[in-house]
C-alpha cells in the first residue's frame, strides 16, 4: 500500500490531520521523566534515555487521537549516538502503536549518497525495511532536482514518501526561497518540480509519494502553493507556538479533509507548561495535558474546515 | 585557537590541502575488512563494524600525509543507529590521529533546531565539547540566512567552522542554484551571505569560521566564487572520480597555498580497485594503495599550484 493510502485511511479513522511533533527539549521535560532516566550513566546517555521515555509516553497519549507523529532528528542527534539509538526506538514504538512516522531530518545529498539516506530512513509499509523505519522523510531540495530522484525511487518502491522543503516557516525563509527569476520565485520553482514528481508517482491515488513542506506562518503562500501542487501531500509546520491558527491552515485541505497534515510540537508535548493549562494539570499529569491539548487542536481544525468529528 | 588557524597549521605541516573523504561502501570493502567484522551480529551491526574498521585503517594510512578527513554521514546513517555509533568512533579516531574532521552531513533547520545540530556536531578545538566531536560541518542554506546564524555562533564559540553549500558538484546543481534574480543567481546570493559571515567572524585570521562548498566540477564558477568570497575557506568536492583535476581546483588557493581543501573520496579510499592500480597492489595491500593514491594527488596539487613539497 502506498504511503498516501495509508495516511488517508489514518486521517479518516481519526477524523483529523493533526500531527504531533516530537521535539524533546531536556529543560522542559517533566520531573518524573527525568527521575525515570536517572539510572542511566549521566550526560548524554541519561538525556537520550529521558527523551526516549518521554516520547514513548507522548506516543501512548496520542496514538488513538491522531494519524501521525513527526520526530525532529536534531534533538536526538544533539545527544550523539545515544540519541540516535533513542530516535530509532521512538520511531519503532510509534509504528507499533499504529501511527505513521514522518522523520523530520531534512536530508539531502548527491547521487548515491542521497540513495544511502533514502535507504536508511524510508521503510514505508514494512517498518523493518529500513533501519530507521520511517514512513516519510523531509528532504532539502537545494542540491537540485537530480538529488531528489533517488529519494523518490526508494519511496515509490517501499510505499514511503518524502516531503520536500518548499516554503519553510522561519522568519528568514525568504532569503533564498523568495529569489525571483522572471516571474517565478525559487520556492515556486521547487513547487513545480514537486508537483511534477507527485503527479508522476500517484498511480491511482489522489496524491503522489512526493509532498511538500509549506509553513503555516505564511498563509497567502500556502493558498497559492496548495493550488500549484494539487497532487502533493502537504506537511504544514508552524501551528501553535510559531503562531499559525486553524484558520490559517484550513486552505491546505481538499474538501474531503485530505491532502495535508498539520504539525504542532511544543504547544502539544509541553502543554503542561502552557500558561492556559498550568493550573488545570499537575506536573505528573502531563500526559493528560497532552491529550487535552491535542483534542483542542483537533476540534479547532474541525471547526475551521467544517469537518464533522 | 580558531578552526582556520588549526587548519592552516595542518596544511603547512603536510604541505598539502588534500582531504580524504571517508565514504565507506560495503560492496567495495576489501575482503580482510569484511572478515575482521564477521564476529558482529550479521546485518547492520556487521556492516557498521566493517565501516568502522575500514575507516580507522584509512585514517592510519593517511594521518601523516594530509591535514583533514571528511566522513560522509549518509553511508553511516544507512546502517541505522549502529552506523552512527561507528561514525562517532571514526571521528574520534581521526581526531586522536591529529587530523581535522569535516563532518559532511549537510544539516540545516530553523532556530533552536539548527542550534541543536550545531551543538551536537561542532566540537571545535576540544573534541569532547560535542558528542560527534567534529571540527567542521557542512550546512545547507535553503532555509535562509537566519538558520545559518545558530551554526555560526556555536562555531565561533568553540573554534569550529561550517561549510555552507554554495555550488554543489552534481549534474543537476543548477536547478535552483542557477536561478537568476536581476543580475544575481541564487548561488551568488548564498556566496554573498557566506562572505559577509566569514569576514565578520575572522578576527585577525585570513579566513572566518564560515566557509563554502564549491564543486570542482564547475571550474568557471569556482574562479568567480573564489573572488566573491575572499575570506571564506573553501571545501572543494568533485576531485577524482567525479572528474575534476588538479588544474581545475588550482584557482581555489591563495598564492600561499591556503584558503581551500580539496576532497577526494572513492579514488583514494578504494584505490586498490582502480584500473591503473589493481595490478600494482594485492587486495590485502589496500592501505598501501591508499597511501600511494594520496601521494599522487598531493603531487598533482603541488605541481598545479607551483607549491614545493
Task: Identify whether A235 is part of a domain.
Answer: yes
**Domain assignment of residue B226, yes or no:** yes
Residues 183-202 of B with CB under 8 A from A: 186, 189-190, 193
The answer to whether A147 and A196 have CB atoms below 8 angstroms apart is: no
Residue B35 lies in a domain: yes
Distance of alpha carbon B164 from the chain centroid? 12
Confidence of residue A97 (pLDDT cuts 50, 70, 90): very high
Residue A152 lies in a domain: yes
Query: Would you state the pLDDT for residue B2?
Result: 94
pLDDT of A181 > 80? The answer is no
Q: What CA–CA distance (Å, rounded) separates A108 from A118?
A: 9
Question: Which among B91, B129, B144, B177 is the top mutation candidate for probing chain A, defined by the most A β-carbons within 10 Å of its own β-carbon?
Answer: B144
Residue A195 CB partners (closer than 8 Å, separation 6+): A228, A229, A230, A231, A232
Q: Which candidate from A44, A88, A168 shows the least CB-CB separation from B110?
A: A168
Tens digits of residue pLDDT in B193-221: 999 999 999 999 999 999 999 999 888 99
B88-98 per-position pLDDT tens digit: 999 999 999 99
User: Does a structural domain hold residue B16?
Assistant: yes
Averaged pLDDT for residues B8-28: 96
Give the whole-number percent of chain B exceeding pLDDT 90.
87
pLDDT higher than 70, residue B308 = no
Q: Which residues of B touch A81 (CB under 8 A)?
A: 81, 84-85, 87-88, 131
pLDDT tens digits, one per residue of B251-289? 999 988 899 999 999 999 999 999 999 999 999 999 999
CA angle A203–A206–A208, rounded 5-degree value: 60
**A171 contacts chain B (CB < 8 A):** yes
- Would you call B53 helix, strand, or coil by DSSP? helix
Interface test with B, best of A74, A91, A174 (most B CBs within 10 A): A74
Instruction: Report how many domains make up chain A.
Output: 1
Report residue A216 CA to chain centroid gap: 13
Please check whether residue B243 touches A, CB under 8 A.
no
Q: What percent of chain B has pLDDT over 70?
A: 99
B288-to-A107, B69, B233, B285 alpha-carbon distances in Å: 34, 17, 30, 5
Grid cell 592500480 is found at B277
Which domain does A191 fall in, by range? 3-301
Distance separating alpha carbons of residues A83 and B132, to the nearest angstrom? 11
**Across the interface, do A175 and B189 touch by the CB < 8 Å criterion?**
yes
pTM of the model: 0.95
Is residue A308, in this structure, part of any structural domain at all?
no
Per-residue pLDDT band at B174 (split at 50, 70, 90): confident
- Closest Cα in chain A, distance from residue B309 (Å): 33
Cα–Cα dist A289/A70, whole Å = 19
In the numeric block, the cell 552531513 is attached to: B105
In-domain check, residue B309? no
**Residue A51 is part of a domain; what is its CATH number?**
3.20.20.70
> Does any domain span residue A307?
no
Q: Mean pLDDT across the stretch B242-256?
A: 92
Amino acid at each position: 500500500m502506498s504511503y498516501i493510502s495509508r495516511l488517508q485511511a489514518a486521517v479518516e479513522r481519526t477524523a483529523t490531520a493533526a500531527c504531533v511533533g516530537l521535539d524533546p527539549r531536556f529543560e522542559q521535560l517533566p520531573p518524573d521523566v527525568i527521575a525515570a532516566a536517572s539510572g542511566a550513566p549521566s550526560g548524554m546517555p541519561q538525556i537520550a534515555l529521558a527523551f526516549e521515555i518521554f516520547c514513548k509516553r507522548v506516543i501512548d497519549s496520542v496514538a488513538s487521537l491522531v494519524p501521525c507523529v513527526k520526530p525532529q532528528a536534531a534533538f536526538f542527534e544533539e545527544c550523539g549516538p545515544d540519541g540516535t539509538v533513542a530516535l530509532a526506538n521512538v520511531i519503532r514504538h510509534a509504528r507499533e502503536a499504529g501511527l505513521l512516522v514522518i522523520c523530520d531530518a531534512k536530508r539531502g545529498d548527491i547521487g548515491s549518497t542521497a540513495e544511502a539516506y533514502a535507504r536508511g530512513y524510508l521503510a514505508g509499509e514494512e517498518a523493518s525495511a529500513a533501519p530507521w523505519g520511517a514512513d516519510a522523510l523531509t528532504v532539502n531540495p537545494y542540491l537540485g532536482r537530480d538529488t531528489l530522484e533517488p529519494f523518490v525511487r526508494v519511496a515509490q518502491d517501499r510505499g514511503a514518501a518524502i516531503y520536500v522543503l518548499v516554503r519553510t516557516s522561519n522568519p528568514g525563509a525568504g532569503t533564498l526561497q523568495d529569489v525571483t527569476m522572471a516571474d517565478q520565485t525559487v520556492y515556486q520553482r521547487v513547487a513545480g518540480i514537486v508537483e511534477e514528481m507527485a503527479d508522476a508517482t500517484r498511480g491511482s491515488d489522489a496524491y503522489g509519494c512526493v509532498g511538500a513542506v509549506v509553513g503555516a506562518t505564511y498563509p497567502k503562500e500556502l493558498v497559492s502553493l496548495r493550488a500549484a501542487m494539487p497532487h502533493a501531500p502537504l506537511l504544514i509546520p508552524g501551528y501553535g507556538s510559531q503562531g499559525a491558527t486553524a484558520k490559517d491552515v484550513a486552505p491546505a485541505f481538499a474538501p474531503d479533509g485530505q491532502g495535508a497534515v498539520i504539525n504542532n510540537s511544543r504547544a502539544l508535548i509541553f502543554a503542561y507548561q502552557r500558561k492556559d493549562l498550568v493550573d488545570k494539570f499537575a506536573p505528573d499529569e502531563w500526559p493528560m495535558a497532552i491529550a487535552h491539548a491535542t483534542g483542542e487542536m483537533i476540534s479547532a481544525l474541525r471547526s475551521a474546515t467544517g469537518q464533522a468529528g
